[in-house]
Structure 1
């Protein structure tokens, strides 16, 4: 029995998430539960006890990666915090894991529509990190009242996602420019 298979609870889950991220990075949307089981030495039934579907495992792995590479930003200046977050997203999408996994999830969504809902849930959760700072800007009167903060954040990160899908990375300078453009467009 492998060392991974002998671990229990959180250690097994961590191994599954890490292996899923690694395999998605290397192989893309073709990753199967059998591949993940083989990589971790964990039986498929153990995987399915924790994640009811392959798609739920992929979504959990992507969430795990997102929390690790785009952390919450604590900053007294909401504009600076948004810049830091945007640069973190750009760096994440420039990484092999970030860009490859985004393309893998989009590709897998064609044959697994469940991933569309899980991806939407992932983005909504991750957007909350930025919305805290955008809400602070709105409360300070720096944003127009007719503009929803989530739309402002989407104007910043969605171009980065499209560029990553096309294999064109977003530099930190370009991420800063996207923040400037979105905040300027939403300014009072």
Structure 2
């Protein structure tokens, strides 16, 4: 099928292109993730894709990290991935660490990064809360989101504000929050 071809070709391209060529990486990684999520991943494929994502999320090239987060969304939304718990801890650590550091930036590239981190974070809180139980992920993300919402208009863009409010709404409607988290959001309103 076309996704098998896409998966094999992009993996080969990723192996053969120079590591410094991050322009290629920003497109190859989401393509690999999309193909893998459509085809389904066994344990070996999950580990291979997880390692690619981990390396890309440590990159200094912001568009590559954004591409990796889009790839993570493909994987999380797929029903064909057997070993999803390989991806969730890595991504939650990345988001919890990075959302604090860059949420105050106003550049459009950084804003795109914040938006995709919020999308992935809210998706994990809504659908994979069982895999984040016992961690501070939900609390940290919600606190940072509340902080961003309460900042002045110059600090938080309208797009980020809107993404946070829609994310809160989805979590409340899906009953994905505990009583402490719901109380935190009640205080916000």
Larger radius of gyration: 1
What range is the shorter-chain TM-score in?
0.3 to 0.5
Flag the structure with more relative contact order, 1 or 2, with Cα contacts below 8 A and sequence separation at least 6: 1
Using the size of structure 1 for normalisation, the TM-score is 0.33
